[in-house]
Amino acid sequence: MMERFTISLDSELAKEFDALIAERGYGNRSEAVRDLIRGRLEQWRQARDETPYCVANLSYVYNHHERDLAERLTALQHDHHDLTVATMHAHLDHEHCFEAAFLRGPTAAVRRFAEALIAERGVRHGQLNLVAVEVGQQHAHGYKPRSHGGSQHVHLKPTR
Per-residue pLDDT reduced to its tens digit, 129-140:
988 888 776 666
- Per-residue confidence (pLDDT) for residue 37, from 0 to 100: 83
Is 1 inside any structural domain?
no
Asked if residue 160 has pLDDT above 70, the reply is no
Rounded to an integer, the average pLDDT of 99-126 is 93
Q: Residue 45, Cα to own-chain centre: how many angstroms?
A: 15
Given a cut of 70, whether residue 112 has pLDDT beyond it is: yes
Our count of domains for the chain comes to 2
- How high is the mean pLDDT of the chain? 85
Q: For residue 73, is it within any domain?
A: yes
Instruction: Judge if 72 and 150 occupy the same domain.
Output: yes
Domain with residue 136: its CATH number is: 3.30.70.1150
Q: Are residues 117 and 65 in the same domain?
A: yes
Answer yes or no: do 30 and 58 share one domain: no
Lay out the sheet containing 96-106: strands in order across.
84-91, 96-106, 53-63, 123-141, 151-158
Domain enclosing residue 103, as ranges: 53-158
pTM of the model: 0.68
3-class SS string, the chain: CCCCCCCCCCHHHHHHHHHHHHHHCCCCHHHHHHHHHHHHHHHHHHHCCCCCEEEEEEEEEEECCCCCHHHHHHHHHHHCCCCEEEEEEEECCCCEEEEEEEEEEEHHHHHHHHHHHHCCCCEEEEEEEEEEEEEEEEEEECCCCHHHCCEEEEEEEECC
Q: What are the tens digits of pLDDT across the range 34-55?
A: 888 887 877 777 666 667 889 9
In angstroms, the Cα distances linking 1 to 36, 71, 87, 103, 106 are: 19, 51, 38, 32, 31
